[in-house]
Amino acid sequence: MTDTPAAMRGAVDLAALAARSRRAESGIATIDEAAFQELAQQSMQRPVVIAFISTASPQSEELARTLGEAAAARGIVAAACDVDAQPAIAQAFQVRAVPAAVALIGGRPAPLFQGAVAREQIDEVLGQVIAAAQQMGAATGLGEGAPEGQAPAPEEPPLPPLHQEAYDAIDRGDLAAAEAAYDQALRENPKDADARAGRSQVRLMARSLTADLNAVRKAAADAPDDVDAQLAVADMDMLGGQLEDAFARLIDLVRATAGDERERVRARLLELFDVSDPADPRVLRARQALASALY
């Protein structure tokens, strides 16, 4: 991360403006926290890649432009995050150095690479992102822009009607309608794991949509016994890819609570498991720890 001299704080950063203009020409926009929340919603339907950059790093601009061009060729949403202007986003993704790239797939963060990377390597990584998104059902409309000589991705079968209804609602920003569609799908088939995971993802996004990361973390630090404050910071940890921190926080809270409060924490933890890869070792360890805490 770079430090801005005190005398320059609040001044117009001409280098940043020029860099933003160059990035815009390649179709990659610079985001703030509000735009990040919108991208998290979009990632439910198609993957998003974010280049973490700094105006103090010449390699950053090259990576942002190349990533934007490569993503556009594949129909992937791309954005840039200036770590100097948006340190909270960088902190949430645990970005320690720039340039770096992270993907959002179905609301889940996935680190891609750090440092200068050749276009060929970026294309290969984006191919893996598409494959992962297709596996999760979060890759609508991808494949049209595949590079020449590469076989287009196989056409995905249509979603069940209620799942499609939920995706359409997410696309227009109506998370309440998306949750209602998933609820109906679960009423019709309580064993619909995809609907359960989708509902948990939508709920996580809805809870975090307007959250201020710094305020949430301060509230949790100031009130370690406040269940709502701890649930909120666990949500932010999940969005930032800090699964172990989120799980450990809530498992400790399970041990420290009883009755209805304990059940609230347990239910939230199960929702966070739903939005994670069930085969992830961190999830498996957390499930064992939860069982131990409960019994």
Judged against a pLDDT cut of 90, whether residue 268 lies above it is answered with yes
What would the two tokens of residue 264 be?
């609230």
- 147 part of a folded domain: no
What would the two tokens of residue 90 be?
């960088």
- 184 part of a folded domain: yes
22 and 67 housed in the same domain: yes
- 204 part of a folded domain: yes
Give per-residue pLDDT as tens, 48-77.
999 998 877 778 888 888 898 888 888 888
131 and 177 housed in the same domain: no
Cα distance between residue 227 and residue 252, in whole Å: 11
The whole domain housing 92 covers 6-136
Q: The domain that contains 40 carries what CATH number?
A: 3.40.30.10
DSSP assigned state of 8: G
| Banded model confidence at residue 238, pLDDT cuts 50, 70, 90 | confident
Cα-to-chain-centroid distance, residue 23: 22
- 263 part of a folded domain: yes
Judged against a pLDDT cut of 90, whether residue 138 lies above it is answered with no
41 and 91 housed in the same domain: yes
Domain count, the chain: 2
- 125 part of a folded domain: yes
Judged against a pLDDT cut of 50, whether residue 25 lies above it is answered with no
Give per-residue pLDDT as tens, 173-200.
788 999 999 999 999 999 998 899 889 9
- 151 part of a folded domain: no
Q: What percent of the chain has pLDDT over 90?
A: 31
177 closest CA partner among 199, 160, 197: 199
Which pLDDT does position 151 carry in this prediction? Answer: 45
219 and 121 housed in the same domain: no
Higher-confidence residue of 158 and 147: namely 158
98 and 218 housed in the same domain: no
Q: The domain that contains 216 carries what CATH number?
A: 1.25.40
Tell me the one-letter amino acid at 240: G
74 and 182 housed in the same domain: no
Judged against a pLDDT cut of 80, whether residue 2 lies above it is answered with no
What is the gyration radius of the CA atoms in the chain, in angstroms? 20
10 and 104 housed in the same domain: yes
Cα distance between residue 221 and residue 218, in whole Å: 5
Judged against a pLDDT cut of 50, whether residue 171 lies above it is answered with yes
110 and 173 housed in the same domain: no
* ω into 99 cis (within 30 of 0): yes
Mean of pLDDT over the chain: 81
Nearby residues of 139 by Cβ (< 8 Å), 6 or more positions away? 46, 47, 130, 133, 153, 156
Q: Whats the size of the chain, residue-wise?
A: 295
- 155 part of a folded domain: no
Nearby residues of 104 by Cβ (< 8 Å), 6 or more positions away? 39, 40, 43, 47, 48, 49, 50, 110
Judged against a pLDDT cut of 90, whether residue 265 lies above it is answered with yes
Which pLDDT does position 139 carry in this prediction? Answer: 64
- 257 part of a folded domain: yes
Which pLDDT does position 5 carry in this prediction? Answer: 32
86 and 11 housed in the same domain: yes
26 and 62 housed in the same domain: yes
Instruction: Give the lowest-confidence range in 120-124, 150-154, 271-275.
Output: 150-154
Give per-residue pLDDT as tens, 79-108.
888 888 888 888 888 888 889 999 998 888
88 and 165 housed in the same domain: no
193 and 70 housed in the same domain: no
